[in-house]
Homo-oligomer: A and B are copies of this chain.
Amino acid sequence: MFGAIEAGGTKFVCAIGSSPEQLYSETRFPTTTPEETLHKCVAFFQEQSKNHSIRSIGIACFGPVDLDPKSSTYGYITNTPKSGWQNTRMVGFFQETLQIPVAFDTDVNAAALGESLWGAGKGKDPLLYLTIGTGIGGGGIVNGSPLHGLVHPEMGHISVPHDWKKDPFPGICPFHGDCFEGLASGPAMRQRWGQPAETLPSTHPAWSLEAYYIARALANMIYMISPQRIILGGGVMQNLSLFPLIHTEVQKALNQYVRSAAVLEEIDSYIMPPVLHNRAGILGALALAMAIR
């Protein structure tokens, strides 16, 4: 049996299990202070371990996080905007308190891993997973393992072509203004159009502009990493009518340069929604735990 923690900015989910079909005793609680929240996790696993032997725990964590095993702050949440959670020790805390191995990665890398094992990413490598919602984040599986290095990817912060005449909105990223997240996150849509994305009718010009930015970002990702599949989740992508718009715009952006059937003929399955839906986080955490050798 393995343990899984989906550590999100608004809620935590804990579970134990051995496969997506065998996930037991799931519990969830709001993210309050680190002390309270992490101790609720510990209490859950201590209770579970009375009846089950838990081999390891995986944590799919909101970020930014430190993933460098050589760093003195490995396994920490670092400079997050989430109040009270800056410099929170995650891995070390659970290892010491529960005395079991702990695997740790970003929520999006974990989701990518979950989808690659059990969802839309089976047999696809490189695989990219993007979430487009309150923020924009991206993770990936490359050559069999999650993608990180210096730190971890921050795919929401790449630049996309911004035609100020067509779209005078300056973007809302505090670091970069009109980066991808600054122009195309849920809050950016709300601020540009004066109403939440989910209240905009599907004929509103907001959606074609949104598809344009997402497609330009994906084109950059395709040129950089050459993924075999791209999975798009998150709040904004709940509007599934975005997908065909994105497909058309990606083909326009690539302009026949990438001569692959996946792009030219099968783009509906090349860029698609997650199969695990809102289970990607907790199942990604489970996958992380199971990947410990």
Contacts and interface: CB of A to CB of B under 8 A. Distances in A.
Interface in A127-157: 138, 142-145, 147-157
Contacts of A255: 175-176
Interface string A88-111: 000000000000000000000000
A151 B260 contact: yes
A225 B153 contact: yes
Range for the number of chain A residues in contact with chain B: 35 or more
A257 B154 contact: yes
Contact of A220 (B150, B158, B227): B158
A66 to B, nearest CB: 10
Contacts of A221: 224
A219 interface: yes
Interface stretch (A32-40, A42-50, A159-167): A159-167
Contacts of A156: 223
What is the count of identical protomers in the complex? 2
A151 to B, nearest CB: 5
> SS class of chain A's interface: helix, strand, loop or mixed?
loop
B162 A161 contact: yes
Nearest to A142: B142
A159 B218 CA distance: 11
Nearest to A228: B149
A256 interface: yes
A262 interface: yes
A288 interface: no
23 contacts: A78-B259, A124-B149, A138-B224, A142-B143, A147-B225, A148-B226, A149-B226, A150-B262, A150-B263, A151-B258, A153-B226, A154-B226, A154-B257, A154-B258, A155-B223, A157-B223, A157-B257, A158-B219, A159-B160, A175-B255, A175-B256, A176-B257, A225-B225
